[in-house]
Amino acid sequence: MAKSGTQLQWPEIAGVISDLDGVVYRGNAAIADAIEAFKSWQRAKLPFCFVTNNSTHTPEDVVRKVGGFGLSISPRQVVTSAITAAALIRAQYPKLTRAFVIGAPSLAKAIEEAGLEVTDAKPEVVVMGLDRQITHDKLRIAAAAILGGAVFIGTNPDLLLPTADGFEPGAGAMITAVAAATQVQPLIVGKPETHMIEAALSRLGTPRQSTLMIGDQIQTDIQAGKRAGLPAVLVTTGVPPRKDAALLPADFTVSSLSEIAVKAGVDTVRQRRA
């Protein structure tokens, strides 16, 4: 059972990996305590990196958004499922050159920047993320390519996304449709898989056992953090936690990031750099 409250025994913290939506902001509204916490960690030179399943924003979009809340970060501090999908294709399928993309312009941009041509002509890999302009024609091209042997990659498994007035289908719902049609299971990039956590860890260069994973969803953030071997903190500012005995529990539960004590880790970071 996760411990909660201020009596927590925090591990030595050398770095932080954090989710964005529901942790740093809700929609377009900042979560003030979280912004203050990240600003204080920044002053203390505690390295941190954000990881988001959202493939419809570039790292630069995120930099602008949190900058508007008074937190100044660099694009290197943002790992998106789009960027990670592109890196994964380069690493695991270096010979592929033609990709069909169903997703936002940010996803196509990430795939192009990884050196692939985005095309519907003989694609060797199909990459699917959230596409609010999805059509039957796009689904047809994707299914035909996958049935013809193209690699099938999904940016994230989220089935449902919260909106200002309810919910909308997430990328996972459309990815599931293509998987059902083709009977081919995609390689999923986003949380709860660990690809983005590993990408963030390699950017931070911090040991995993002293890098905190912070998130508001047990089924994605906490599973990804725990599977990657990180101590995981559930913050109750986002999606209400769902009880599911099959899921790995968080190590800590907080109602505000101000409850996270980082002093020991900060001293360590300073000593190491001194």
Cβ distance to Mg ion smaller for residue 21 or 131: 21
**Residue 19 vs 131, nearer CB to Mg ion:** 19
* Site for Mg ion contains 158 (CB under 5 A): no
By beta-carbon proximity to Mg ion, the closer residue of 35 and 44 is 35
19 is in an annotated binding site: yes
Which stretch, 29-37, 155-163, 188-196, 211-219, contacts Mg ion (CB under 5 A)?
A: 211-219
Q: Which two tokens stand for residue 215?
A: 């998130």
Shortest CB 47 distance to Mg ion, Å: 21
For the record, the structure tokens of 159 come out as 């089935």
216 annotated ligand binder: yes
Catalytic site includes residue 19: yes
For the chain, what is the largest distance between any 2 Cα atoms, rounded to a whole number of angstroms?
59
Question: DSSP E strands: which ranges in 134-268?
Answer: 151-154, 160-163, 166-169, 187-188, 211-215, 232-235, 252-254
21 is known to lie in a ligand binding site = yes
Cβ at position 172, least distance to Mg ion in Å: 14
DSSP string, 72-128: ---GGGEEEHHHHHHHHHHHH-TT--EEEEES-HHHHHHHHHTTPEE-SSS-SEEEE
Write out the binding residues for Mg ion, residues 13-32 only, by CB under 5 A.
Answer: 19, 21-22
User: Which residues in 101-118 are b (16+ Cβ under 10 Å) and which e?
Assistant: bbbbebbbbbbeebebeb
* Residue from 53, 143, 68 nearest 107 by CA: 53
Q: For the CB of residue 19, give the shortest distance to Mg ion in the complex, in Å.
A: 4
Q: How far is the CB of 50 from Mg ion (least distance, A)?
A: 11
For 230, the token pair is 């990180």
Active site residue 131: no
Residues 216-255 touching Mg ion, rule: CB under 5 A, are: 216, 238
Q: Identify the active-site residue in 21, 131, 158, 251.
A: 21
DSSP 240: P
Q: Name the residues that contact Mg ion, by CB under 5 A.
A: 19, 21-22, 216, 238
Binding site, annotated residues: 19, 21, 191, 216
Show which residues are catalytic: 19, 21
